């Protein structure tokens, strides 16, 4: 898989509780209603867009960004092991 460098700027990062079902931009799995997720507004090559991540996928994407500073292949990245469920 070839990675390219893009001009990406983050406008806003917000943690939210899903009201509707979403799809995680990182792993492609469902974000279920009631689940916490991270919504990130960005400008990508001059075009605004929104990424939605599971919380653990957001952490994984941040770590990946710090390490590589490059784009990722949407919906195909491995979802990290979930944190122990909090009760
Ligand atoms: Zn995910």
44-74, pLDDT tens digit by residue?
889 998 999 999 999 999 999 888 877 788 9
Mean pLDDT within 15-38: 97
- 1 — pLDDT class (breaks 50, 70, 90): low
Q: 5 CA distance to ligand 1 centroid (A)? A: 22
- 84 — pLDDT class (breaks 50, 70, 90): low
- 80 — pLDDT class (breaks 50, 70, 90): very high
Q: 29 CA distance to ligand 1 centroid (A)? A: 6
Q: Which pairs count as long-range contacts for 10-16, CB under 8 Å and 24+ apart, including other chains?
A: 10/40, 10/41, 10/42, 11/41, 11/42, 11/43, 11/48, 12/40, 12/41, 13/38, 13/39, 13/40, 13/41, 14/38, 14/39, 14/40, 15/39, 15/55
| Boundaries of every domain in the chain | 8-68
pTM summary value: 0.80
């Amino acid at each position: 898989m070839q990675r390219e460098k893009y001009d990406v700027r983050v406008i806003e990062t917000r943690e939210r509780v899903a009201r509707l079902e979403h799809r995680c931009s990182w792993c492609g799995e469902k974000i279920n209603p009631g689940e916490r997720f991270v919504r990130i507004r960005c400008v990508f090559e001059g075009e605004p867009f929104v990424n939605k991540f599971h919380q653990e996928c957001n952490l994984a994407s941040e770590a990946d960004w710090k390490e590589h500073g490059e784009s990722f292949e949407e919906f195909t990245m491995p979802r990290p092991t979930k944190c122990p469920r909090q009760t």
